[in-house]
A and B are shown apart, each in its own frame.
Chain A
């Protein structure tokens, strides 16, 4: 091309796009698999959709759903608060506090949640009585553990104590991700350590903490199914009870999955807004 033709080059480019035959092959393969799945869902009698619809909003199932929801909420709130405390202990200047927090995380993260929940369900065998008193000294009030303690307490405590170990690491990572200059700027303005943590460090750490915490919350929703080990009647244990006398095993389990998917979808929406809130001030 000669210099004189540059005028024509300033127009919008109309080029032949690159062909992507691989994409077409993959799309067809996925479409076929999807069609097979839909066909199965419709034609396979074993799903017994009518049976599922019968139980979907039954009082027993709704009770199980309610217990699953409150366990998830309680475990996450308790786990986050205890996790923040453990993270601050891990970052403390006091070696005893650091060591204690490390030991906690080591124990609760290093053993299966299911096993921990079994222990929480049988805690009465380990501590037959609970009392208030002086350590290694006299006790003022004592009570039978099993009288004070319920399956609900065992289930929620088991989940909280386990979750706190994971949250501690997430929170610690978040706090450590905040630039040291932030601490200095706050100190130079005369803020105390507690004010700096609450107003400057934690809000910034939340940007890093929020996404994995959302994942933890969604994991927790599903992990509540493990409290059948206590035993405590949440959604999965409830449908097990139902199919143990109706023998409609698959329909009940699929129905439980539908409930879990519905709840986790709601949580994903919440996670989206939470991340957007704590991401303010950061250009993408």
Chain B
């Protein structure tokens, strides 16, 4: 992908993992994203908060091309997402090329989306074997390590239906990590969990952040955003209303819409 410069040269030099320029997305006549400009540095943990329908999940899904960007540009690790640029023209990437881009981006979903016909361990082993062509032994060895890392070494043979929500989400994190991604996307990872199970998932995410993983987290957990996040982005109506250091944005929101939202959730 190096034939043509994919990204403004300075962006890579700045150590940017994600760079979004005026990203727009429509669903039919509804404008969901109205020009998002955001950058995520290498190793940064960015938390995106906002009311439902604000476009925060849609933006997250644009980063790994689960949604097609309608206007603007989005780069991940220096590569334009979903397209190849030659001169002024954009060419859609082929399905295999899109799949190759996604290998480096892990994603964790609100509803876990574990594969129900496979055990927890098989869930974690599947992608490295299929996508990277790893041997069964190598994939199994690392899957076992990852299961231990998320605190589930005694649950490897269980099917997802035999696990609690919190355990399922931790398996989902291990499954994403098995591809050794450079970037992890979290789409409201604790929103479908019983309150007492939220902590175990946030603990795993906190460890991940401490180890230097670049993370973009769409969440309603303001405590997590304050404690773990390097930056906080407040979105509403398809635009970034306010962003900054989490502690400052949460304690002293500048914009009226941010103040109104935070007064309801804090």
A interface residues, Cβ below 8 angstroms from B:
179, 181-182, 184-193, 195, 199-200, 203-204, 207, 278, 280-283
Give chain A residues whose Cβ lies under 8 Å from the Cβ of B100: 190
Known: A182-B113, A185-B113. A282 touches B95 (CB 8 A): no
How long is the Cα–Cα vector from A184 to B176 in the complex, in angstroms?
Answer: 13
B146 to chain A, nearest CB (A): 14
How long is the Cα–Cα vector from A181 to B130 in the complex, in angstroms?
Answer: 19
Size class of the B contact interface (CB-based, 8 Å) = 20 to 34
Partner of B130, one of A184, A191, A204: A191
How long is the Cα–Cα vector from A193 to B131 in the complex, in angstroms?
Answer: 12
Decide if B81 is an interface residue (CB 8 Å cutoff). Answer: no
Q: Which stretch (B3-11, B27-35, B47-55, B155-163) binds chain A? A: B155-163
How long is the Cα–Cα vector from A186 to B102 in the complex, in angstroms?
Answer: 10
Decide if B179 is an interface residue (CB 8 Å cutoff). Answer: yes
- Do A281 and B95 have beta carbons less than 8 Å apart? no
Partner of A187, one of B102, B114, B119, B162: B102
Known: A182-B115, A199-B126, A281-B116. A189 touches B179 (CB 8 A): yes
Known: A181-B109, A182-B113, A281-B118. A192 touches B162 (CB 8 A): no
Q: A-B pairs with the 9 shortest C-beta distances? A: A190-B103, A185-B113, A281-B159, A188-B107, A181-B113, A189-B127, A190-B131, A190-B102, A283-B161
Give chain A residues whose Cβ lies under 8 Å from the Cβ of B109: 181, 184-185, 188
- Do A191 and B113 have beta carbons less than 8 Å apart? no
- Do A192 and B99 have beta carbons less than 8 Å apart? yes
Residue of B nearest to A183 (CB): B113
Give chain B residues whose Cβ lies under 8 Å from the Cβ of A189: 102-103, 126-127, 131, 175-176, 179
- Do B66 and A199 have beta carbons less than 8 Å apart? no
How long is the Cα–Cα vector from A132 to B176 in the complex, in angstroms?
Answer: 51
Contact pattern, B 155-180, Cβ under 8 Å of A = 1, otherwise 0 = 00001111000000000100110010
Within B219-261, the residues touching A (CB, 8 Å) are: none
